[in-house]
Chains A and B, each alone.
Chain A
Amino acid sequence: MSGLPKRIIKETKNLILDPVPGMKTDIPDEDNLRYLSVEMEGPGNSPYQGGVFNLELYLPEDYPMEPPKIRFLTPVYHPNIDKLGRICLDVLKDHWSPAFQIRTVLLSIQQLLDTPNPDDPLLSDVAELCKSNNAEYCKIAKEWTLKYAVTKKEV
């Protein structure tokens, strides 16, 4: 409302100048400095390795008292990420603390890609597969990563 809070300015500045490894943050719209875009590399040794996933992030009016809003724009096959890119992650909901930062959230999401939590799923079918036939789940996740998150090299 009355200008951008110091905290948001400082956090975004740090994210851009001193990025989290494997993550690129940007401000796509100069008129809305609360809206950020993120490119996240899939964690190594996971079915998402090699993929670059796009996310969008919005810092609501009452941030940091309320968590940032964030979703995947790139389709991800994952028990805790739904088809609209919504992420089921405790720190984005009940376990948010104003002492966390955007950086904390991004790292938690990357961590979630690495270690899915099929016991608290957003998509029960994916969770089921993840538990019963992990190899098959990994295979599909890898296919999706290749299909949606790997930019084809220009020929």
Chain B
Amino acid sequence: MINIILGIPVLLAILTLLIKKQRILGILTSIGYLAVLFDSILLFRRVLISGNIKLYADFIYIDALSAFFIFVIAIVAFASSFYSVGYIERDIEKGIISDRKAKIYYLLFNLFCCSMLFAPAVNNLGILWVAIEMTTLISAFLVGFYNSKESVEAAWKYIIICSVGIIFALLGTILFSYAFSLLGGAKTLNWSEIVANAANLDKNILKVAFIFILVGYGTKAGLAPMHTWLPDAHSQAVAPISALLSGVLLKTAIYAILRFGIIIIKAVGIAYFSHLMILLGLVSLGISCAFILVQKDLKRLLAYSSIEHVGIIAIGFGLGSPLAIAGAIFHIFNHAVTKSFMFFGAGNIVSVYKKHNINAIRGVIKVLPFTGIMVLIGVFALTGFPPFAIFLSEILIIAAAFTSDSYLIAALLLLFLSIIFGAFIYHFGKMLFGNLPKGMTRIGEPLSGKIVFLFLLLPITILGVAVPFIKEDLLWIAQRLLQG
């Protein structure tokens, strides 16, 4: 099954070199990712029911955690590829990009998705590092895709900051393998073998190593204060790519942190992991909160909101109780889906208004009625308003903070979330309802552009309503995820 998941993006990447028409290419890509999505659901089901999968002499190792991340990547990749068809077509019609460049876009898109799907599937921590570095290198081109001064600057900062960050992650990985080699076995970087001997590893080395891991992959995950590349890259990338960056690229880095975190928890105990994650989480929340309040750029606003949600996820894992972990896992999915939804909305708005500036965007509901309403729903979903899914995952994490007597954390979470809620309503209220700028009239939207919103709206609302009834299952899955 995993062969199909990894094979389809490679196959599609090869097809981009053979097929001439970019439109056909776009449609084929979406069909391909639909297949990947179905396959990833089957994979997740199979891992939950019949246990972990090991392939090719332990090179591929898929447990519940990997399968879950593959599923999240697949769903956003499908939505994004579907949205790309219309988006790229519009760009070509307007003469922003050429036919040839559209083909390069699909080539990079497929390679990017392939490297992201590959990262959770490998067992070897060194290859995991290579896969995550590959995601940076490929997506840098997609960030600098429009070749404007701003986008190239963003791409440059992105590639340099993330590469330096990730060098520290490599240092941490080497220290982990050193701690393992002290046990006297054969040298290996396979996660499954290291975690099996976690309890015997040298605690001091692991503690230092985990700091490096956290700085390294934390940079890629957008945890403050290593987040500085994120708003630039997210705001300059092509809209469907912004969705991928924010929805799932950050999550692959979180996946890597969790992989090492599981070893740390087993070797050193949860307190160490917990304190670091909660600290970084709260700093991220605080910083993003400040920047969201004063933000003047629509896409940067959404980018800072990603830092906020990554912070919430880190706090969830940091709290460490089953309830909190269930919340954090659930939040990873919710944020991926909701944030892509919002970036698609923002993409539609920006391509009509041709500006990112919040002050220049007024009366979206009158110009783009469908997108306007969807964005309005998205704002409430993203800021954690019931009955949407993010509300539930945030409540789970806050409840977990209360039940573990971490009142300060719960209070700070509530404070930051309510400030961010207010700021979002304020910014989007102006954009959606204000007076129409001169010369703008209502613009029709094609059906294909609408379907992707409805597709993503489905899980956002259904899960928000259904999860209270399947809470036991969610807790069970969350427990399975961190078993390794």
Question: Do the two shown chains form a genuine complex with each other?
Answer: no
Residues of chain B touching chain A, judged by Cβ–Cβ distance below 8 Å, are none
